[in-house]
Amino acid sequence: MARYILLGHLTRDLYPGYFLYGGAVLYGGLLARRLGFETWIITASVEKDLKHIFPELRFYNFKARKTTIFENIETPSGRLQKVYAKAPAIPLEKVPDSLRKAEIIQVAPVLDEVDPASLALLETKFLVSNPQGWFREVLPSGEVRPKRPDINIWPYFKALVISEEDVKACPDILPLLCEKADNLVVTMGKAGARLYSKNEEFFLEAPLVSKIVDTTGAGDILATAFFAMLYATGKPKVALEFAMCLAAISVTRRGLASVPTLTEISRCLEKP
């Protein structure tokens, strides 16, 4: 069984009166496991008994005093994010050598918790990322705002997935991102997605969804689905079509319940 490692903070996402676990590593990790990978999450949090909460997954959790806490607020002008707590950065140099190696390693930061320069410590031929956390900074008020990352210190990736919203503060960065990866996907919500691969650009329409319940995690699910299918087939367009099918399913549910089931995965695999 191929190993799939995800790096980044798991989170507590606040809703009125309760919270749900989240973070790109959990949305993507649960999907990767259902796609047949031995899945590890390397994170930092105050959480205990993660292996009992998420028995499908394996964790290397740096014990911390805090778990990263988000609130996602939908507004007419887009999503507003607030941060109420932030776990410390993930020290890759302290990760056991055996967990720095995998067929696929996905770097999935939510708040700049993975140092791009430290990725040289990893051993994989398939390094991928949904680098949204490198495009964010937190104001003293807790509000998240866009920032421009220093991509000069990034390694080269097999693939990157980023949202149009993440790069809206620096749209001129797209050509530079194309130079950092074999494949770049820019998601645009219900408008679809653009794929940049081998000096070509493709646009794919998003599947129609009758009722959207919650978009949180949809981009993370799309990213992992794209990476996994790209690894399996080597075909970027096929991988993105599969990923968009799963992402469309995910928005019809809330929280980690939005991760597609085995039946739903099979249905998307069967689509021509």
On the question of pLDDT at 225 being above 90, the answer is yes
* pLDDT for position 203: 97
Q: Which residue has the tokens 């790109």?
A: 24
- pLDDT band with cut points at 50, 70 and 90 for residue 79: confident
On the question of pLDDT at 107 being above 90, the answer is yes
- Interval 83-103: pLDDT, tens: 999 999 999 999 999 999 999
- pLDDT band with cut points at 50, 70 and 90 for residue 140: very high
- Interval 16-39: pLDDT, tens: 999 999 999 999 999 999 999 999
| Higher-confidence position of 128 and 75 | 128
Strand (E) positions, the chain? 3-7, 11-15, 18-22, 38-45, 58-63, 68-75, 78-85, 104-107, 127-129, 136-138, 144-146, 157-163, 181-187, 193-197, 200-204
Per the CB < 8 A criterion, the answer to whether 177 and 183 are in contact is no
DSSP string for residues in 186-230: EE-GGG-EEEEETTEEEEEPPPP-S-----TTHHHHHHHHHHHHH
- pLDDT band with cut points at 50, 70 and 90 for residue 171: confident
- Interval 243-268: pLDDT, tens: 999 999 999 999 999 999 999 999 99
DSSP string for residues in 8-23: S--EEEEETTEEEEE-
Mean pLDDT to the nearest integer, 57-68 = 98
- pLDDT band with cut points at 50, 70 and 90 for residue 220: very high
d(CA 192, CA 175): 19
Mean pLDDT to the nearest integer, 237-244 = 98
Three-state SS at 175: helix
* pLDDT for position 91: 98
Quote the DSSP letter at residue 261. P
Cα 54 to Cα 21, 27, 31, 100, 218, distances in angstroms: 10, 11, 12, 21, 19
* pLDDT for position 169: 83
Percent of all residues in the chain with a pLDDT value above 90, rounded to a whole number:
91
d(CA 11, CA 85): 10
* pLDDT for position 255: 94
Q: Which of 103-112, 138-147, 176-185, 230-239 has the lowest mean pLDDT?
A: 138-147
pTM value surpassing 0.85: yes
Per the CB < 8 A criterion, the answer to whether 66 and 83 are in contact is no
Q: And the tokens for 237?
A: 């367009």
Cα 206 to Cα 7, 156, 188, 194, 254, distances in angstroms: 28, 28, 9, 10, 19
Mean pLDDT to the nearest integer, 187-212 = 94
User: Which domains does the chain possess?
Assistant: 3-270 (3.40.1190.20)
- pLDDT band with cut points at 50, 70 and 90 for residue 80: confident
Average pLDDT, the chain: 95
d(CA 155, CA 50): 30
On the question of pLDDT at 272 being above 80, the answer is no
- Please name which of 30, 79, 12 lies closest in space to residue 214, comparing C-alpha atoms: 79
